[in-house]
């Protein structure tokens, strides 16, 4: 039986609108540097993107299931499928290029 967090996660990623998930930790320096980049991305794309931040320390089971071992880790999902995954801070241009592939 899936737990509530897993069920909520599956519901979250199963939409047509791309979902960018930022797996972060409050104690992670690069994660703090990444936050303004993601904020700008969301500002630029508006409703074309759902941005979700997941604290790895509060969601250990989900992170383990997805193999998140470094922070920040970025994943982009659409229609329940992972379309992009990268560890470390990603430039906004890389993220926009990956998201553009989904609407092409």
From the candidates 28, 87, 89, 102, give the one annotated as an active-site residue.
28
From the candidates 13, 19, 20, 31, give the one annotated as an active-site residue.
31
Strands in the chain per DSSP E: 19-24, 50-55, 73-78, 81-87
- Between CA 47 and CA 53 the distance in angstroms is 16
Structure tokens, 6 = 């897993």
- Catalytic, 63? Answer no
Which residues have a catalytic role annotated?
A: 28, 31
């Amino acid at each position: 039986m899936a737990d509530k967090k897993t069920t909520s996660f599956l519901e979250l990623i199963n939409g047509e609108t791309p979902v960018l998930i930022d797996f972060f930790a409050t104690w992670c320096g690069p994660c703090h540097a990444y936050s303004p980049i993601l904020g700008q991305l969301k500002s630029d794309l508006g409703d074309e993107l759902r941005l979700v931040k997941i604290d790895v320390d509060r969601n250990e089971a989900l992170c383990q299931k997805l193999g998140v071992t470094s922070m920040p880790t970025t994943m982009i999902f659409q229609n329940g499928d992972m379309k992009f995954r990268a560890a470390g801070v990603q430039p906004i241009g890389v993220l926009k290029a990956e998201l553009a592939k989904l609407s092409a």
